[in-house]
Amino acid sequence: MSTYQNTLAHAQGLDAVDPLRSFRNEFHFPQHAGRDVLYFTGNSLGLQPKAAADALKQELDDWARFGVEGHFHAKHPWYSYHEELTPSLARLVGALPEEVVAMNQLTSNLHFLMVSFYRPSGKRTKILTEQRPFPSDTYAFASQIAFHGGDPAMDLVEVQPREGEHTLRTEDIIAKINELSEELALVCFGGVNFYTGQAFDMAAITQAAQAVGATAGFDLAHAAGNLHVKLHDWNVDFACWCSYKYLNSGPGSVAGAFVHQRHLGPKPAQGLPRNEGTLSEKAASPAGSLSGDPTEVCLGNGLPLFAGWWGHNKSERFKMERTFKPMPTAEAWQVSNAPVFSMAVHRVALEQFDRAGISQLRAKSEQLTAYLAFIIAEVAQHSGTHLEVITPNDPMQRGCQLSILAHGHGKALFNRITERGVVADWREPNVIRVAPVPMYNSFEDVYRFGVILTECLSASH
Ligand SMILES: *Cc1c(COP(=O)(O)O)cnc(C)c1O
């Protein structure tokens, strides 16, 4: 029994009481046949906030006006630009400010964090992930394993769904963690799988991983800005995400990283056991040409990291000394200075998340996606088509995306809805992904999607 109705009036009624409805006007929508497209790919590239152009113009103007002095005299000084993003990022992923930093790109961050958190030794060499993670993550895992001299075919393990099922059961994930136990170095899942749209129980996975002595990390590409994430409370070791999907910060924009508080802090003055074979020893010149301390590139608890000048303690950064003194925060993992142009867009996009609030967004999202599930079921029933949603039905196990298997229609159906102004996406081998985002999608969008889907299905008979 559903409280929803497949009518325009019902959808418009839901929009009328949506406290977030005005955010839609803050975005540019691509046009199709004189009206806004039905944009359901905020999980791939979020729409452009209208405020982005002015934010970019500000940086260009400050660059023209100040040249290098813009590092300190720009309206948003470039030297500390990333710091302006920190409080919003912390709220977004449920972290302390010192635990997050905006830097680099997503896969780069995954690599940099694995340098610290994937440290195979002895028989503890394996990485456990979900079935079919995003390919970039698979490449990153496999290449890290190979980099440490391991064999990806042996050391990269994916949890598989049960026969006849599309998604994973938490109990099976935990059973696999316990089975691998002391062979497990790292458990690294997506927060939400890009293909199935399944959201994983990050708290339970983290607890199980740490209980067997492994570290737990998450790729939040499809979770940041989509789920209500609480990284600190869940005790996650590390996480990373991109900003161009749900976070609307533009193609290739700056990514984010989280490192739990307990891993932070500079190296104490003495008494720390040195990690055999860390970068520091390898970097030490045999000719003894380093003056002063050799470059000791690890953190207080012996965690190694790949260092760069932007991770150096900022109060001494411009002394340009040889010895690396890490920031006592997640900023220690920064290697390079801040990409200000992409951060300018990220700043205004995050400001919208602050105004909307992640709990309010999530509340709307659960309703919007439930409405989409209802509409898809209606269309399937009335058109006599088998439209199978493989994303879990339980709101706790999904974000806003639904992945549809259109048995026998697949790509042709996808092409037909695309011609009608629906922007969804097709993912090989046979899924149509539809992601109504709470920030700018409406219930009317979802209703209209149902109308087009029905028309396209009847045309194909
Ligand atoms: C989108 C996505 C990526 C893309 O990586 P980039 O480094 O941003 O190009 C990687 N992993 C996951 C899980 C993704 O969803």
What's residue 210's pLDDT?
Answer: 98
Query: Could you tell me if 278 and 304 are in contact, meaning their C-beta atoms sit under 8 angstroms apart?
Result: yes
Q: Strand 215-219's sheet: what is its strand order?
A: 100-103, 255-259, 238-241, 215-219, 184-190, 126-130, 156-159
CA distances for 246 relative to 330, 428, 433, angstroms: 22, 21, 14
Using the mean position of ligand 1's atoms as its centre, give its distance from the Cα of residue 243 in Å. 10
Q: Which of 108, 130, 134, 244 to mutate to test the pocket of ligand 1 (most atoms within 8 A of CB)?
A: 134
Q: At what angle do helices 443-459 and 410-419 cross, to 10 degrees?
A: 120
Ligand 1 atom showing the smallest separation from residue 194 Cα = 15
- Work out the number of other CB atoms within 10 angstroms of the CB of residue 165: 11
pLDDT in tens, 76-90: 999 999 999 999 999
Average pLDDT over residues 344-360: 98
- In the DSSP assignment, the letter for residue 200 is P
Q: What's the confidence (pLDDT) of residue 322?
A: 83
- Given a contact cutoff of 8 angstroms between Cβ atoms, the answer to whether 435 and 428 are in contact is no
Output the six-digit token pair for 280: 């520091």
Residue in 162, 192, 190, 195 with CA at minimum distance from that of residue 176: 162
Identify the band that residue 267 occupies on the pLDDT scale cut at 50, 70 and 90.
Answer: low
Distance from C-alpha of 97 to C-alpha of 221, rounded to nearest angstrom: 20
Rounded Cα gap, residues 443 and 41, in angstroms: 15
Predicted pLDDT at 154: 97
Answer yes or no: is pLDDT of 279 > 80.
Answer: no
Residue 296 — very low, low, confident or very high, per pLDDT cuts 50/70/90?
low
Give the tens place of pLDDT for each residue, 211-221.
999 999 999 99
Phi, psi of 422 (to 5 degrees): -95, 125
Helices (H) and strands (E) in the chain, counts: 14, 17
Q: Reduced to 3 states, what is the DSSP secondary structure of residue 415?
A: helix
The per-residue pLDDT for range 1-10, each reduced to its tens digit, is 579 999 999 9
pLDDT tens for 421-453 read: 999 999 888 899 999 999 999 999 999 999 999
| Global pTM exceeds 0.85 | yes
- For the chain, give the mean pLDDT: 92
134-146 pLDDT tens trace:
999 999 999 999 9
Mutation choice for ligand 1 from 136, 137, 194, 202, CB with most ligand atoms inside 8 A: 136
Residue whose Cα lies nearest atom 14 of ligand 1: it is 221
Whether 293 shows a pLDDT value over 70: the answer reads no
How far, in Å, CA of 54 to CA of 332, rounded? 31
Q: Are 177 and 208 contacting, i.e. CB atoms less than 8 angstroms apart?
A: yes
Distance between CA 324 and CA 280 in Å, rounded?
10
pLDDT score for 277: 36
Cβ neighbors of 239 (< 8 A, separation 6 or more) are: 93, 191, 217, 218, 219, 220, 231, 257, 258
Is the model more confident about 390 or about 297?
390
Residues in the chain: 461
pLDDT of 222-246, one tens digit each? Answer: 999 999 999 999 999 999 999 999 9
Q: CA–CA separation, 156 vs 206, rounded Å?
A: 18
HSE (side-chain half, CA atoms, 13 Å) at 365: 30
Closest to 339 in 3D by CA, of 252, 264, 247, 441 = 252
pLDDT band at 316 (very low <50, low <70, confident <90, very high): confident
Q: Quick one: which atom of ligand 1 is closest to the CA of 252?
A: 8
204 pLDDT band, cuts 50/70/90, is very high
Which residue CA neighbors atom 13 of ligand 1 most closely?
134
Ligand 1 neighbours, Cβ below 6 Å, are 105-107, 134, 136-137, 190, 194, 219, 221-222, 242
